[in-house]
């Protein structure tokens, strides 16, 4: 293991503290992470990431999802560059918007229209507004602890948020039909929509799959009360299947929200809908200065083509399963009991007997010091750009990290970050 330099990162963190509240905000802040995690990055290519000090990582966060096919994928970047030479943010959209809508709708079974925006939060908020416009009703049902964005109606942090912002949100237990039926009852006929994530992927917690019976039951409950079913694909989209994720369970939603991978890193998200929801979508007013920029749309057309025409998905899953098996064997060999939950291509790795997560934090930090960017409490993401040498570097790094952990275990300091302890507590209660 080389001695890591982090002087440039430290300097930027200091400068940032002066001019950016808290130095950084949101889910990409490293405030809840061990000190070894860099905050600022210099470049990224394929499956690799370099921090501002030049330390290189095999990256298992993929920009928190967007890097599906590899950072700077040549085909995607060529399409983006070609469009950039013609124009990007103009007085109206380019032809790419129509092509993208046609291509996307052609890939997703339930969809007959598409609307584009910038972030996942835009798409989920548009879904909520469309559902309410469809029926003129108010209540929106959301699974407890599920993340659907950072707008007042769904942000996990309640600072600055009013009870009124959530007056018409009703919460239920994920994968629990009785709890959903109770929430529907509570809505008392005033129900507009029900949100679902493809599987349960919350921070600080094991990931769990819904059963097909549950998904079908959600569909039926929505149909019974004429509420729109919204699948939030922002995190899992195109990492489970080339269609909407719940198609794997035999269920088609009325609306689906997409983001992250759509432009393989270019800023774009989308709301897709079925014929039934078209009139409602047409009736609402939603827009943004950069929503119609042509470059991310051209990048998305190229990304979707690669999704349709290559075996990126099968390759990604095969690689991810090899990495998962390797880590599982190493953990056992070093005498650790770990839980690797969720699909291998969106893995969550948590340690047994680790109530304050000091063990998982130490291991992830030890991985980072060895050039493998692993996250201790958020689900990770695998890119189809991982190659043999990346896998080798990963498994060398994770093995050494387990050995490091074994040695450090007797003297591990308790978790001291109050915000981490609070999040662990919240995840346990959810």
Ligand X SMILES: Cc1ncc(COP(=O)(O)O)c(C=O)c1O
Is the separation of the CB atoms in 212 and 233 below 8 Å?
Answer: no
Please say which residue, 6 or 269, places its beta carbon nearer to ligand X.
269
155 binds ligand X (CB under 6 A): no
197 binds ligand X (CB under 6 A): yes
CA angle 297, 48, 360 (to 5 degrees): 110
237 binds ligand X (CB under 6 A): no
Minimum Å gap between C-beta 147 and ligand X is 5
Region near ligand X per CB under 6 A, out of 103-111, 165-173, 217-225, 228-236: 228-236
Please say which residue, 330 or 341, places its beta carbon nearer to ligand X.
341
259 binds ligand X (CB under 6 A): yes
Among 116, 147, 195, 291, binds ligand X (CB under 6 A): 147
CA angle 53, 69, 12 (to 5 degrees): 20
The rounded distance, in Å, linking the Cα atoms of 292 and 101 is 12
Minimum Å gap between C-beta 195 and ligand X is 9
300 binds ligand X (CB under 6 A): no
219 binds ligand X (CB under 6 A): no
Instruction: Count interface residues toward ligand X (CB under 6 A).
Output: 12
343 binds ligand X (CB under 6 A): no
121 binds ligand X (CB under 6 A): yes
Measured CA distances, 222 to 194, 253, 348 (Å) = 7, 10, 30
235 binds ligand X (CB under 6 A): yes
**Which contiguous run of DSSP H or E holds residue 142?**
strand 139-143
Region near ligand X per CB under 6 A, out of 12-20, 115-123, 357-365, 407-415: 115-123
Please say which residue, 271 or 338, places its beta carbon nearer to ligand X.
271
Q: What is the DSSP-derived secondary structure letter of residue 143?
A: E
Q: Which residue is nearest to ligand X (CB)?
A: 120
Please say which residue, 60 or 402, places its beta carbon nearer to ligand X.
60
Q: Dihedral sign for Cα 40, 234, 168, 131, please.
A: positive
Among 58, 225, 234, 350, binds ligand X (CB under 6 A): 234
The rounded distance, in Å, linking the Cα atoms of 400 and 367 is 8
The rounded distance, in Å, linking the Cα atoms of 170 and 217 is 18
Pairing of strands 269-273, 113-117: antiparallel
149 binds ligand X (CB under 6 A): yes
Please say which residue, 245 or 398, places its beta carbon nearer to ligand X.
245
Tokens of 317: 């899953």
Minimum Å gap between C-beta 118 and ligand X is 8
Minimum Å gap between C-beta 61 and ligand X is 11
Pairing of strands 56-59, 113-117: unpaired
The rounded distance, in Å, linking the Cα atoms of 192 and 139 is 5
Minimum Å gap between C-beta 379 and ligand X is 9
Helices (H), 136-249: 177-187, 212-225
What are residue 404's phi and psi, to 5 degrees? Answer: -60, -45
Among 9, 67, 119, 247, binds ligand X (CB under 6 A): 119
**Which contiguous run of DSSP H or E holds residue 113?**
strand 113-117
381 binds ligand X (CB under 6 A): no
The rounded distance, in Å, linking the Cα atoms of 162 and 166 is 7
Please say which residue, 111 or 346, places its beta carbon nearer to ligand X.
346
Minimum Å gap between C-beta 119 and ligand X is 3
Could you count the other beta carbons within 10 Å of the beta carbon of residue 293?
25
| Residue keyed to tokens 């600055």 | 160
List 115's β-bridge partners, or say none: 271
Minimum Å gap between C-beta 104 and ligand X is 17
Please say which residue, 47 or 62, places its beta carbon nearer to ligand X.
62
Among 83, 124, 264, 383, binds ligand X (CB under 6 A): 124
Please say which residue, 42 or 267, places its beta carbon nearer to ligand X.
267
Binding site for ligand X (CB under 6 A): 119-121, 124, 147-149, 197, 232, 234-235, 259
């Amino acid at each position: 293991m080389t001695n890591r330099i982090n002087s440039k990162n430290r300097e930027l963190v200091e400068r940032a503290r002066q001019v950016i509240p808290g130095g950084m905000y949101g889910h990409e802040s490293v405030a809840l992470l061990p000190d070894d995690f860099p905050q600022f990055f210099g470049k990224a290519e394929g499956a690799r990431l370099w921090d501002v000090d030049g330390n290189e990582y095999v990256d298992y966060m993929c920009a928190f999802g967007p890097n599906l096919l590899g950072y700077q994928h040549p085909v995607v970047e060529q399409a983006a560059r070609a469009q950039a030479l013609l124009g990007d943010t103009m007085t109206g959209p380019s032809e790419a918007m129509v092509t993208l809508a046609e291509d996307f709708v052609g890939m997703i079974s339930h969809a007959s229209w598409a609307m584009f925006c910038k972030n996942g939060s835009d798409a989920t908020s548009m879904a909520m507004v469309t559902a309410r416009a469809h029926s003129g009703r108010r209540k929106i049902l959301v699974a407890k602890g599920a993340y659907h964005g950072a707008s007042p109606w769904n942000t996990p942090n309640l600072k600055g948020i009013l009870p009124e912002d959530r007056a018409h949100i009703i919460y239920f237990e994920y994968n629990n039909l009785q709890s959903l039926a109770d929430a529907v009852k509570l809505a008392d006929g005033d129900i507009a929509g029900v949100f679902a994530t493809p599987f349960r992927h919350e921070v600080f917690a094991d990931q769990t799959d819904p059963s097909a019976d549950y998904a079908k039951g959600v569909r039926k409950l929505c149909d019974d009360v004429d509420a729109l079913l919204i699948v939030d694909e922002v995190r899992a989209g195109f990492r489970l299947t080339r269609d909407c994720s719940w198609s794997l369970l035999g269920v088609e939603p009325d609306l689906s929200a997409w983001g992250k991978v759509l432009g393989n890193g270019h800023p774009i998200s989308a709301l897709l809908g079925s014929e039934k929801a078209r009139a409602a979508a047409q009736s609402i007013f939603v827009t943004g200065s950069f929503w119609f920029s042509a470059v991310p749309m051209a990048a998305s057309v190229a990304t979707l083509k690669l999704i349709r025409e290559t075996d990126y998905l099968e390759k990604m899953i095969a690689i991810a399963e090899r990495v998962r098996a390797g880590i599982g064997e190493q953990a056992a060999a070093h005498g650790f009991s770990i839980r690797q939950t969720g699909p291998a291509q969106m893995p969550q790795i948590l340690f047994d007997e680790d109530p304050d997560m000091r063990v998982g934090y130490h291991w992830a930090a030890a991985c980072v010091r060895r050039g493998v960017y692993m996250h201790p409490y958020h689900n990770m993401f695998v890119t189809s750009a991982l190659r043999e040498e990346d896998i080798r570097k990963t498994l060398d790094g994770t093995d050494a990290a387990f050995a490091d952990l074994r040695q450090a275990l007797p003297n591990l300091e308790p978790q001291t970050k109050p915000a981490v302890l609070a999040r662990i507590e919240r995840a346990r209660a959810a």
